[in-house]
Structure 1
């Protein structure tokens, strides 16, 4: 932004002495609009890159963008409306299509919605940004975008205890379950913290065990083990071969894991994988 601000000052100076003086505040505003409209993600440019925000929602045309602050321990209201509004449907569609394209997904009539991972400039490499996008074909209010940003540093059980999310007894039970290779299932709707809870307790897996995470959601699971491996079915990265859950299961078995982690159980294939893992121990 500093280089852009300098270019803005030069452009204003080239207009001649008759141009009204432009202060630093105005230059910053102009630089913001240049970044937003030319190299950013429209009105979502700043919220996507703001490390203090956990969720960003643009639900329909003409409605204010909502955000969720990362530190919500003492927040009175989770979703906070902003003054950002996408009031043009075609511009909204272009934004949704562009966000999906960043992860190699083409939205069209056959594929009107998708879940993608974003890696925009200005965001730390270890921050995972998961984005659900949809075209007007399946949304009554027009396109919509739902963005979730996984914190750079995973929460610890102590953090969850301080927030009142867990009790000490539950933490101790999960510790024993992981250490003795028992079955642990985190169940609930989207956004309630299943992955956060899983990541907080992955360090309880003994350091000399080999954990392997499989399925699409494995990109959000952190394995703090030198022996850990994550496998996923990102079809667009396999131009000549479609990777199936059966392929992942075969690859997982060859890795001889001590613990298997299925990051998402929401499809027929992932349920079959879960059943196979239980049956084979």
Structure 2
């Protein structure tokens, strides 16, 4: 039998059954789901047995292709799985059956993928939501979920999405880069790297800010790799994304409520628990809600060297962002400012320009009549660095008072 070539063969008493190894039919998928345990990707032997039962014979290469295709349908994202598996893809967006886009770090690109019709897109959205432990139907037409592999899913059904189901998938890449690699790639200017090292070494409390997709998690993972290896780092996240090169990282992951609304463990509760785990450094993967109160409280009680990420447009916008988050926790602007000024030292801001992610600004937290962030330095797209009025104080705080070019 030629390798990789599908061959039909009828078993006694059964008609031969043609199988497309790259597009398994619904009946085959249903049978695999029935036999596979817990909705996991099926074993090769399971698929081979079903193929034999249907009176078909496949070459080993075609059987491997069928196993991969069935696995994507049962335990993965179906026809979207090859896009999610591509090493350079960060986002997959589905606007319709023949309107699928990807982001490979250079902006959105349209693909030629055909998902069939609107009903198949809807069925895929519902199945992925269920895989993330969430409900998606006419009564709950919007969902935000995490798939078992960590991929973020956001899906919307009609009538909220009048033109058909919409899916947005953000890929989890647990790849860690060293600071030297970020300098080589242009994410961090060579003159900025010593400042980032000093923030870690001096146990400064720092926020990493930026828009979605600017590389906040990537930078934070790199900087946590600089933490001395005899220190315990407790990382708190909605889902495990940070993968620092450090031997003593303890992870806590939030848990969403189930369909009955029970069982939730939120980030605020995890911050409180982290304080009882003898942490040397507390790290919050993303601060976007009432947990800001617990984080600022922790950093005001002697837990130096903490880090967190936050969404913001620039370092000067961080105070307003913190005030908005503080309001969710019942903190007024004055209380928030007092807490933040005592807890935080600096803000490192990332920006994405023409598909390139880079550390664009560093600011220092200060307290005037309200919370402010003083510019410390700005790094242009060409790597040129300009120092601001906040540089002398932050340089002294981090032991960089004699750093060339900044302190005069």
Q: Quick check: TM above 0.5?
A: yes
The partner residue of 2:151 within 129, 135, 145 is 129
The partner residue of 2:196 within 162, 174, 181 is 174
The answer to whether the 8 A contact 2:146-2:152 is kept is: yes
Instruction: With the length of structure 2 as denominator, give the TM-score of the two structures.
Output: 0.53
2:279: which partner in 1? 257
Within 2, Cα distance between the matches of 1:262 and 1:133? 26
Within 1, Cα distance between the matches of 2:273 and 2:113? 46
Within 2, Cα distance between the matches of 1:98 and 1:131? 11
Distance 1:251 1:155, change over 3 A: same
Q: Does residue 261 of structure 2 align to residue 231 of structure 1?
A: no
Within 1, Cα distance between the matches of 2:237 and 2:294? 9
Q: Does residue 303 of structure 2 align to residue 277 of structure 1?
A: no
Q: CA deviation at 1:151?
A: 3.2
What number of residue pairs does the alignment pair up?
246
1:144: which partner in 2? 166
**Structure 2, unaligned stretches of length 5 or more?**
12-17, 25-65, 303-408
The answer to whether the 8 A contact 1:215-1:262 is kept is: yes
1:154: which partner in 2? 176
Distance 1:156 1:138, change over 3 A: farther
The answer to whether the 8 A contact 1:55-1:68 is kept is: yes
1:93: which partner in 2? 122
Please identify which structure carries the higher strand content.
2
Distance 1:131 1:244, change over 3 A: closer
**Structure 1, unaligned stretches of length 5 or more?**
16-21, 120-127
Deviation track 1:226-252 (CA, whole Å, cap 9, x = no partner) reads 432111221358996432344313311
2:80: which partner in 1? 44
Q: CA deviation at 1:81?
A: 1.3
Distance 1:238 1:229, change over 3 A: farther
Within 2, Cα distance between the matches of 1:230 and 1:278? 18
Distance 1:52 1:190, change over 3 A: closer
The partner residue of 1:106 within 135, 143, 146 is 135
Within 1, Cα distance between the matches of 2:118 and 2:279? 48
Stretches (4+) displaced over 6 A = 237-240
Please identify which structure carries the higher helix content.
1
Within 2, Cα distance between the matches of 1:223 and 1:163? 18
The answer to whether the 8 A contact 2:90-2:103 is kept is: yes
Q: Does residue 102 of structure 2 align to residue 67 of structure 1?
A: yes
Distance 1:262 1:138, change over 3 A: farther
1:122: which partner in 2? none
Q: For the pair shown, which has the larger CA radius of gyration, 1 or 2?
A: 2
The answer to whether the 8 A contact 1:235-1:243 is kept is: yes
Within 2, Cα distance between the matches of 1:33 and 1:111? 28
